[in-house]
Structure 1
Amino acid sequence: MIMRVMGEGQYEVGDDHLNLLNELDAELVTAVESGDEALFREAYGKLIEAVKQYGTPVPLDSLEPSELILPSADATIDEVRELLMADGEGVIPGFPE
């Protein structure tokens, strides 16, 4: 799956890491629902770092479409809340828990 982190580029993440990303996404949902800015910052940072750690950067000259777009690492809790509310499934929709 190709994931774009706004302002940082695209990463191709293999299926073997999607369960971990889904777990981090669930933590993010909990943090956003709590309204706790520090908890949100920690959870979103862990999700972004996991995408970059387990993903392979897609070359900048590649025209591959992103299957998932994440806001930049400095996104606000309100920006991420809007994304979560769009489909109610977290920022990484459709993956089994």
Structure 2
Amino acid sequence: MIVRILGEGQFDVPDSALDTLNELDDALVAAVEAGDDEAFTRALGALLTGVRAAAAPHDVAALDSSDLILPGPDSTLAEVRELLGDDGLVPG
């Protein structure tokens, strides 16, 4: 799966990392739903760190579309709230 972190670029995330990323996404959704800015900042940071740790940078010369787009680390709780779908940011 190709994941784009806004402002950073694309990453190739192996399918084996999706369960962990979904857990991190669940924590992010909970923080957004609670309106808890501190928990939101921690959860967003953990999700983005999880993507970076599990993935390899996608070839910058490739013109592949992203399967998933995540907000950048400076995104606000309100901005992420608008992006959330029924499954959070990470489907599954």
> Whole-Å Cα distance in 1 between the matches of residues 62 and 71 of structure 2?
20
Gaps of 5+ in 1: none
Letter in 2 for 1:78: A
Residue-pair matches, total: 92
Q: Secondary structure at the match of 1:73?
A: coil
Runs of 4+ in structure 1 deviating by more than 3 angstroms, as ranges, are none
Query: Cα RMSD between the aligned structures?
Result: 0.7
Q: Which residue of 2 aligns with 1:89?
A: 87
> Whole-Å Cα distance in 2 between the matches of residues 16 and 60 of structure 1?
23
Alignment of 1:1-97 (within 5 A): 1-84=1-84, 87-93=85-91, 95=92
> What TM-score, normalized by structure 1, do the two folds share?
0.92
> What TM-score, normalized by structure 2, do the two folds share?
0.96
1:60-79 C-alpha deviation (Å, 9 max, x unpaired): 11111100011111100001
Letter in 1 for 2:4: R
> Whole-Å Cα distance in 2 between the matches of residues 15 and 88 of structure 1?
20
> Whole-Å Cα distance in 2 between the matches of residues 68 and 62 of structure 1?
16
- State, as a whole percentage, how many aligned pairs show the same letter: 48
